Amino acid sequence: MTHSGIYRFPSATNKLPFFGNICEIPLMPPTGYLLVHTLGSLGICQTVSSAFLERWAAVGQGVRSFEINHLGKVEDWEKKCLALLAFAGNKDLSGAVAKLKCPVINYSHRFEANASLYNLFVDEAEIGRLAADHLLARGHSEFLFLHLSGFTFSMERGRAFQERIAAAGHRVRWLNVSNEWPKGPLAYHTAYDEALLELLSDSHMAPGVFCTNDETAADFRRRLGKLMPDRCDLFGIVGVDNLAGLQPGNPLYSGLTSVEPPFALLGERAADLFAAFLAGQLDFARGTLEIIAGARVIERSSTMGKAVGDPFINRLLSDIHRALEKNVSLRAEEVAPSLGIPARTLRDRFSKATGTSLRDYLLHLRLRRAARLLRETDRPITEIALDCGFNKPGALSTHFQKHHGCSPRNYRSRS
């Protein structure tokens, strides 16, 4: 049944702040509708909402669903709302939606499960275990967890990570970055830098670092590049959310290994639960906690090619960094003589320890230098190419496109 016309929610501005800046919606059907509440551009909201709406189109029995990023006044829509999928990420909102008569599924795990709602969460412990297994497999023996204090999901991920690492005979050091919330992990704080330096000053190896989300991981990589440029490539860094996949071309997350939570499965499950409710096959029990498993690790360069188990290679990489500073056009065949090491021994040992060839590693360093100059300076791209050892016309663009998925010019415009 088609419903024509426009229904405007009454408010001071006569606008409804829907996701995507849509301020008006088709007239609601008499039978009611479903609302999917999201919060800005959070990875969990993007993925859950997309999966829910796609699934609902197949199982929703013709009932309309709408995505909204601000719930506004509850009385404006409560009477016709048959069910609500809510990102109840703060206590005020959680308390408000708990008073609704319609079924409400909460998928925000910032805090403990709400006893007045049906809580549908991903398996946070699984995420922590996957991150631990991945970093252990890369040969790390020292570990760091960047924790957002006060958030339940972060604590559960950290505990599982620590338990897995402890079972392998190692310890995990925690760094609390909560002093940057809610301003955002990308805000610069001198105190954070000082804490990092103090924490890592007694580390002879570069640790495997598990960050509670991709934003924290991206910020950690940025700080590390400034604080320890000769060691940053030795670190293995894992985030959570797969923002590199959700935001391709965004230089903040390019190359970041990430645990992708099963947010899509969560969205599909929510759609199935609501469909069963509308069909009279399910009564929503408030206080329910359902856990969705199925996370996976998506490996990228932040945990690839790390020499962590071989002290000789660790020292060698530091030497390579210094040599490259003196000669940006340094080639793989020139490294061995400059370091007084037989070329075959160097190639074999480097490849075995890092999982990549010395030639590819040098290319990675030059591309990283080019990316930094594109972000931080206004120098012409041709000048940056020469400064980073790309002497042939178009060489930088070719390699940059392959590595970052965009041209140097587009990369600079997005940074």
244-281 confidence digits (pLDDT tens): 888 877 778 888 899 999 999 999 999 999 999 988 88
User: What are the Cα distances from residue 305, in Å, to 236, 301, 364?
Assistant: 9, 7, 10
User: Residue 235 above 50 pLDDT?
Assistant: yes
Portions of the chain given CATH number 3.40.50.2300: 6-122+263-294, 124-260
Residues 6+ apart with CB under 8 A from 380: none
311-414 falls under which CATH superfamily?
A: Homeodomain-like (1.10.10.60)
Task: Note the pLDDT of residue 389.
Answer: 86
pLDDT digits (tens, 9 = 90+) for 304-333: 655 445 556 666 666 676 666 666 666 666
Q: What is the mean pLDDT of the chain?
A: 76
Q: Would you call 239 helix, strand, or coil by DSSP?
A: strand
User: Domain 6-122+263-294 class?
Assistant: alpha beta
132-167 burial, b if ≥16 CB within 10 A, otherwise e?
bebbbebbbbbbbbbbbeebebbbbbbebbbebbee
Query: Under CATH, which number does the domain 124-260 receive?
Result: 3.40.50.2300
Task: Note the pLDDT of residue 178.
Answer: 60
**Percentage of the chain with pLDDT > 90?**
19
Nearest of 209, 263, 262 to residue 232 by alpha carbon: 209
Cα–Cα distance for residue pair 34/60, rounded to 1 Å: 10
Q: What angle do CA 282, 64, 92 make, to 5 degrees?
A: 70
Task: Note the pLDDT of residue 368.
Answer: 76
Residues 6+ apart with CB under 8 A from 302: 217, 221, 235, 236, 237, 238, 255, 256, 257
CA-based Rg of the chain, rounded to a whole angstrom?
25
Q: What angle do CA 37, 107, 269 make, to 5 degrees?
A: 95
Nearest of 117, 112, 123 to residue 101 by alpha carbon: 117
Q: Would you call 267 helix, strand, or coil by DSSP?
A: helix
User: Residue 24 above 50 pLDDT?
Assistant: no
User: Residue 92 above 70 pLDDT?
Assistant: yes
Sign, CA torsion 66/67/70/74 = positive
Segment 283-290 shows an average pLDDT of 84
Cα–Cα distance for residue pair 304/139, rounded to 1 Å: 11
Nearest of 198, 231, 236 to residue 217 by alpha carbon: 236
Task: Note the pLDDT of residue 355.
Answer: 63
Portions of the chain given CATH number 1.10.10.60: 311-414
Cα–Cα distance for residue pair 112/126, rounded to 1 Å: 17
Residues 6+ apart with CB under 8 A from 250: 243, 244, 414
